[in-house]
Chains A and B, each alone.
Chain A
Amino acid sequence: MPPLDVPALVLRNTHLSPDYNVLHLEAPAIAAASQPGQFVMIRTAAGTDPLLRRPFSVFEVLRDAAGSPSGISVLSKRIGPGTARLYDAAAGDRLLVLGPLGKPFSLVSPPAEAWMVAGGVGLAPFATLTEALRSTGAPARLFYGGRTRADLFYLDWFASRGVTLDLATEDGSLGAHGRVTAPLDDALRARAASLPVTLYACGPEPMLKAVAGLARTYGRSSQLSTERIMGCGLGGCYSCVVRVREAGGAPHFVRSCLNGPVFNGDDLVWE
Chain B
Amino acid sequence: MDLSVRIGSLVLKSPLMSASGCFGYGLEYADIVDLSSLGAVVVKGLFLKEREGHPPPRIVETPSGMLNAIGLQGIGVHRFVREKMPELRRLGAVVIVNVCGSSIDEYAEVTRILSDCEGVAAIELNISCPNIKEGGIQFGCNLASTGEVVAAVRRATALPLIPKLTPNVTSVPSFARAAEENGADAVSLVNTFLAMVIDPETRRPAISNGMGGLSGPAIRPIAVRMVYECAKQVRIPVIGMGGISSARDVLEFMIAGATAVQVGTANFVDPFIWPRLQAGIEDYMTRHGVARVADLVGTVDF
Contact with B along A23-50 (1 / 0, CB 8 A): 0000000000000000000010000111
User: Are A239 and B56 touching (Cβ within 8 A)?
Assistant: yes
A253 touching B59 by the CB < 8 A rule?
no
The stretch of A118-126, A191-199, A225-233 in contact with B is: A225-233
Complex CA–CA separation, A125 to B1 (angstroms): 49
CB closest residue in chain A, given B70: A238
Asked if B66 lies at the interface with its beta carbon under 8 angstroms from chain A, I say yes
Cβ contacts under 8 Å, B22 to chain A? 236-237
A231 B216 Cβ-Cβ under 8 A: no
Kindly report which residue of chain B lies nearest to residue A235, judged by CB atoms.
B28
Name the B residues within 8 Å of A103 (CB-CB). Answer: none
CB-based contact A236/B52 at 8 Å: no
Q: Does A8 interact with chain B (Cβ within 8 Å)?
A: no
**CB–CB A237/B268 < 8 A:** yes
Residue interface bits B244-260, CB-to-A below 8 A is 1, else 0: 01000000000000000
Contact with A along B53-77 (1 / 0, CB 8 A): 1011111110111101010010000
B23 contacts A236, CB within 8 Å? Answer: yes
Question: Does the CB pair B31–A51 fall under 8 Å?
Answer: no
CB <8 Å contact, B268 and A52: yes
Q: Does B182 contact A (CB under 8 A)?
A: no
Question: Complex formed: what's the CA distance from A52 to B60 in Å?
Answer: 10
Q: A77 near B: Cβ within 8 Å?
A: no
Give chain A residues whose Cβ lies under 8 Å from the Cβ of B28. 234-236, 258
Determine which of B24, B61, B271 lies in contact with A50 in the assembled complex, contact meaning CB atoms within 8 Å: B61
Contact indicator per residue, chain A 93-137, by CB within 8 Å of chain B (1) or not (0): 000101000000000000000000000000000000000000000
Closest chain-A Cβ to B294's Cβ sits at a distance in Å of: 29
Task: Give chain B nearest CB distance to A119 CB in angstroms.
Answer: 19
Question: What's the minimum C-beta distance from A67 to chain B, rounded to whole angstroms?
Answer: 29
Question: In the complex, which residues of chain B have a beta carbon less than 8 angstroms from the beta carbon of A237?
Answer: 21-22, 59, 68, 70, 268
The proximity string for A residues 252-271 relative to B, scoring 1 for CB distances below 8 Å and 0 otherwise, is: 11000010000000000001
Complex Cα distance A49/B63, Å?
Answer: 6
Contact in complex: A5, B59 (CB < 8 Å): no
Cross-chain contact B216 with A229 (CB below 8 angstroms):
no
CB closest residue in chain A, given B217: A48
The yes or no answer to B146 lying at the interface (CB within 8 A) is: no
Tell me whether A179 is interfacial, beta carbon within 8 Å: no
Q: Is B265 an interface residue (CB 8 A)?
A: yes
Give the contacting residue for B73; candidates A2, A253, A271; CB below 8 A. A253
Extra contacts, 15 of them, besides A52-B269, A232-B268 (Cβ < 8 A), are A2-B31, A3-B32, A48-B245, A50-B61, A51-B61, A51-B64, A231-B68, A234-B271, A236-B268, A237-B70, A238-B58, A239-B70, A253-B52, A253-B53, A271-B55
Top 9 closest pairs, chain A to chain B, by CB: A235-B28, A232-B268, A2-B31, A48-B64, A239-B59, A48-B217, A239-B58, A231-B268, A236-B24
Chain A residues close to B by CB (< 8 Å): 2-3, 5, 43, 48-53, 96, 98, 228-229, 231-232, 234-242, 252-253, 258, 271
Q: Which residues of B contact A (CB under 8 A)?
A: 21-24, 28-29, 31-32, 44, 52-53, 55-61, 63-66, 68, 70, 73, 216-217, 245, 265, 267-272
- Subset of 5 A-B contacts with CB under 8 Å: A51-B217, A234-B29, A236-B271, A237-B70, A253-B73
